[in-house]
A = this chain, B = another copy of it.
Amino acid sequence: MFEAQNLRLTKQRQIILDELRKVISHPTADEIYQMVRKRMPKISLGTVYRNLEIMSDCGIIQKLDVGGTQKRFDGTVENHYHIRCVECNKVADIEMKPNHKVDSEAQKMTSFEVLRHRLEFMGICPGCKGTGNNKGRKNKAS
């Protein structure tokens, strides 16, 4: 998997990928750093960023640019839609199959060459629902 790109299979790389694939959430770089640190306390945040970048460039994982200030990462690569909690910023998958017809529909309306689309729902997650929770308005996570 890494060989093809002259990439070495370092312990850091393995653990980062392993931790990312272990969760269904879509953690930020820092959250991944915290998870990995439990298994490798001396790893540096820079290494985590570097490897997440490299792995998403290689198509091994996915970097998500959903709203909010931080990028999030996804251990799977298939395209799918997401929903983000407007209170705590938690991101989850939506099991809805991507509709590629909208791309050709959009193509009729623009002078851009349409490549793909991204659909993101916004809502309130079960944890924040009804609580009037405000605490985590920015970058809570998971």
Within A79-106, the residues touching B (CB, 8 Å) are: 81, 83, 85-86, 92, 94-96, 102-103, 105-106
Check A106/B117 contact, CB under 8 A, given A83-B112, A112-B83, A126-B111. Answer: no
Cα of A121 to Cα of B107 in the assembled complex, Å: 10
* Contact partners of A123 in chain B: CB under 8 A: 110, 112-116
Complex contact B109–A129 (CB within 8 A):
no
- Judge if A67 is at the interface, Cβ distance under 8 Å: yes
Interface residues of A in 108-135 (CB under 8 A from B): 109-126, 129
Given contacts A103-B121, A119-B117, contact A112 B96 (CB under 8 A): no
**Residue A65 at the chain B interface, CB threshold 8 Å:** yes
CB pair A118–B67 under 8 Å, yes or no, is yes
Number of copies: 2
A59 contacts partner chain B, Cβ-Cβ < 8 Å? no
Instruction: Select from chain B the residue with minimum beta-carbon distance to A111.
Output: B126
Evaluate contact between B118 and A124: CB separation under 8 angstroms. Answer: no
Shortest CB distance A22–B (Å):
21
Q: How far is the CA of A114 from the CA of B116 in the complex (A)?
A: 23
Q: Does A68 contact B (CB under 8 A)?
A: yes
A121 surroundings in chain B (CB, below 8 A): 103, 106, 110, 112, 114-118
Chain B residues near A96 (CB-CB < 8 A): 102, 105-106, 109
